[in-house]
Structure 1
């Protein structure tokens, strides 16, 4: 059982209601001791507050009463459930549980440090690569990690969230799929609720910086011993360094150093979750209904069929195709940057070269190319210079202390 579940906290529930209930009242029912509900637009149907924006609900059963009579109840994303059969039989309530999403987590209790975790989780060759990626990143850039928990200024918080959204937009534009976190209503909720929860030690922002620039950000929620990885992103310009894996290494290290027993990657399948987790579980949607009410029975069975069908489509990966289609409709044109590194076969004079100021916003498109150069030819970012070859607009020259390379660039529509 999750103790002190952040998604049942007054702050989370109140802010969710402020953003999504449009003035509708919250209700409680004796059969669900730790949850509140709102009345849906379907007569007789109540849905748990937080709905599908929680990252895991635990359901504690109480005693049923007259208040449940004639009604149906939908509870999203149940992962911990008090399932004593003797109680179920005495409630007068029918019950369906429909499996929806897989969940993944790292049980950290067996490990004492990041090195201990890596040694017991990955083969020698994989450990070597992971450590090489992290070392290479730290050699090429000024990298730091900061966890915001319990204290953060509003100004710093707002700055991080501006970068957070930019990185998410960039990430999903490259993947060419839509992402519901970026929908205005959801994003406004996350930004609004996370700040007070950080101050209450019920959430955290875990940020990896290059100099003072965030290059990876994770919004997590916190129970008494569990870290829920809610939304996470890294700057795709650093993909060559395997920044996604490096970020997880920093998260595991932070969790172990601060006594967290579980790092929960939350719902949904991604290859990185499968690779890093040591436990898998399922999220279920629970449907409870008055067994003596024909109306409640029909509502419950209809919901069961609907969510079973949705899961079937998800297993057939229809949802992935839909996300790609949605992205294509919203983004009819996108630029595809193509480039290749070539050996320099001659020396270039100052007259041949036009310096490219990488600090200017209009030069940021070249960052990914520079960072791949740094990965291939280990140099520190401070020691490289970039030039465009005069009268040869598609050719660029990157010069470091010990290495240099021509870059041929092409944009495909």
Structure 2
């Protein structure tokens, strides 16, 4: 395994192909583990991938080697401070490192526990895990659920592209509901991931965890792997299964699968989200590192760039980035229809007999997201398998659910409408 993802040959080749075909990559023995690109005008060298490509970096300073740092400033993005990178620095070295705090992040460290179940019980909590397992049992009683970890395996190219298309579609739907712009689903980034993940899954530098309903993917978790550490970078689940707690079910089963493969730490990557706190036992921070030999030029540049990074973090803490992503979403999605809300109410067989004669059966899969969510909530509440119901479309936005096991009926209609 590579000590840092961005130093692996495959990642560097793919990154250069997509973003820097004509750009030279700089590697220095003095800063081992990182490749850099040079700025166009100033002697500023940035670690490849920048801050958007979700790669955790690590490096080693070799103070006794020939230094390339005169009148050069090096920026290393995405340094998790649990790596203790600075422990290798010699106190008399004639260079400086400025550390600027970025995002707070969370880690689940299983290494001091007997097994993953011991971690679940002592850290996550017996009651919470019991609740997740009950929801998992209900999910599996309502649908034909299966789980798969793609790791050190060859995936058929068509199957892989189908998976990535489904992955992207779920991400788009997730952020559409949140009314936020998510840059990773732009083809500028997504094409890079699609091109890179397949060979990385094959060689064990990445994995893709998938939950299926029949053959349809309903939950994904993309992870990178560095030695015994897993870094979970992109999770998503189908929001129509929210009632079942699909996100928690995915994490619980993912942890079981990863520990079975020998991984004993899980880095939740950047960002403060409530669900991360439920699963972690350690916190840390991501940092920017500015490395340079002091001179009038490099000291001035370092002060300016450090001030810029600190301002960005201050604005994040004030929620400006959320405002920005919401504004970009609105600009890109001006014509999106308003989300409609539906309700389900019981109805007597005598009331629907004539309506069903004029209606036709439709596939639940063909329903829009809000309708599908109501149907799945109905399955959850009544502990029904999807195969035991039929859905009839009566009018454009009015539907009947029939429970084929006991011939009971329910109507679905927009909150302001009734079936007449």
Taking structure 1 as the reference length, the TM-score comes to 0.92
Asked if the contact 2:364/2:391 (under 8 Å) is kept, the reply is no
2:239 corresponds to 1:236: yes
**Aligned residue for 2:59?**
59
The one of 251, 256, 260 equivalent to 2:259 is: 256
The one of 223, 228, 246 equivalent to 1:225 is: 228
Asked if the contact 1:358/1:364 (under 8 Å) is kept, the reply is no
SS in 2 for 1:370: helix
After superposition, residues 253-332 of structure 1 pair within 5 angstroms as 253-291=256-294, 293-332=295-334
Encode CA deviations 1:231-269: one digit per residue, 9 max, x unaligned.
111111111111111110111111122221011111111
CA distance in 2, matches of 1:103, 1:113: 23
SS in 1 for 2:341: strand
After superposition, residues 32-43 of structure 1 pair within 5 angstroms as 32-43=31-42
Question: Which one is further off, 403-412 or 139-148?
Answer: 403-412
CA distance in 2, matches of 1:124, 1:398: 37
SS in 2 for 1:34: strand
SS in 2 for 1:35: strand
**Aligned residue for 2:77?**
76
Alpha carbons of structure 1 residues 285 and 364: separation in structure 2 relative to 1, 3 Å: closer
Asked if the contact 1:356/1:363 (under 8 Å) is kept, the reply is no
Alpha carbons of structure 1 residues 14 and 81: separation in structure 2 relative to 1, 3 Å: farther
Alpha carbons of structure 1 residues 112 and 252: separation in structure 2 relative to 1, 3 Å: farther
2:388 corresponds to 1:387: no
Encode CA deviations 1:176-196: one digit per residue, 9 max, x unaligned.
101111122111111111111
SS in 2 for 1:103: strand
After superposition, residues 95-114 of structure 1 pair within 5 angstroms as 95-114=97-116
CA distance in 2, matches of 1:47, 1:88: 24
SS in 2 for 1:240: helix
Alpha carbons of structure 1 residues 85 and 222: separation in structure 2 relative to 1, 3 Å: closer
Query: How many residues end up aligned between the 2 structures?
Result: 407
SS in 2 for 1:152: coil
CA distance in 2, matches of 1:316, 1:411: 38
Runs of 5+ unmatched residues, structure 2: none
After superposition, residues 7-406 of structure 1 pair within 5 angstroms as 7-52=6-51, 53-63=53-63, 65-79=66-80, 80-84=83-87, 87-90=90-93, 92-150=94-152, 151-291=154-294, 293-332=295-334, 333-345=336-348, 347-353=350-356, 354-358=359-363, 361=366, 366-389=371-394, 393-400=396-403, 401-402=405-406, 404-406=409-411
Instruction: Give the superposition deviation at 1:369.
Output: 1.6
Encode CA deviations 1:141-196: one digit per residue, 9 max, x unaligned.
11111111222121211110111111111111011101111122111111111111
Runs of 4+ in 1 over 4 A off after TM superposition: 362-365
Instruction: Give the superposition deviation at 1:123.
Output: 3.9
SS in 2 for 1:50: coil
Runs of 5+ unmatched residues, structure 1: none
Question: Which one is further off, 64-73 or 321-330?
Answer: 64-73
Instruction: Give the superposition deviation at 1:335.
Output: 2.5
Asked if the contact 1:394/1:410 (under 8 Å) is kept, the reply is no
CA distance in 2, matches of 1:32, 1:62: 7
CA distance in 2, matches of 1:132, 1:360: 25
CA distance in 2, matches of 1:265, 1:352: 51
